[in-house]
Amino acid sequence: MNEQQVMRLWSEILGVPVTSPEDDFFDLGGQSLAMVQFLARVESEFGAALPIEVLFAGDLTVAGAARAIEQSLEDELEDELEDELEDELEDVAGLLAEVDRLPGGEIRALLGGKDRTWQG
């Protein structure tokens, strides 16, 4: 999420022009209910489920909010990729365990009757 998107949402929610990355949410008239509305819009439009504490704990300018949201999206993506990698590794480990249980003759048959070695 970039600063322009944050400015657009803040302007729509707060009903005031938001023109600078340094504009502060509270200086623009924002309060906790407006922050909840902002977070709901961020989640519905961009898929980032951001805890309210993240914004209140940091810089509540347009630039700060954009950074926090972008970091949240990156963290979510990283978590998803790690989960997918773990699943793939479990699948590979399961297949290797199955191969280990096969008698040598069956392995040769699966390889086309030849003893093949890995050449990387």
* 51: CATH: 1.10.1200.10
Question: Looking at the domain assignment, is residue 116 inside a domain?
Answer: no
In a domain, 81, yes or no: yes
Q: pLDDT-derived band of residue 15, with 50, 70 and 90 as boundaries?
A: very high
Whose tokens are 């365990």? That residue is 97
pTM above 0.75, yes or no: no
Domain coverage including residue 103? 3-110
- Output DSSP code: residue 24: B
* Residue 116: per-residue pLDDT: 54
pLDDT for res 63:
95
- Domains of the chain: total: 1
Strand ranges in the chain using DSSP code E only, listed in sequence order:
none
95: nearest Cα among 83, 105, 107: 107
Between CA 1 and CA 93 the distance in angstroms is 38
Label residue 120 by pLDDT band (50, 70, 90).
very low
Instruction: Say what the pLDDT of residue 82 is.
Output: 84
What is the distance between the alpha carbons of residues 13 and 39, in angstroms, rounded to a whole number?
11
Evaluate whether residue 119 is within a structural domain.
Answer: no
Q: State mean pLDDT over 75-103.
A: 81
**Per-residue model confidence (pLDDT) at position 44:** 93
Q: Per-residue pLDDT tens for 29-84? A: 999 899 999 999 999 998 888 888 877 777 899 999 999 888 888 888 787 778 88
What pLDDT, on the 0 to 100 scale, is given for residue 24? 96
pLDDT score of 119 more than 70: no
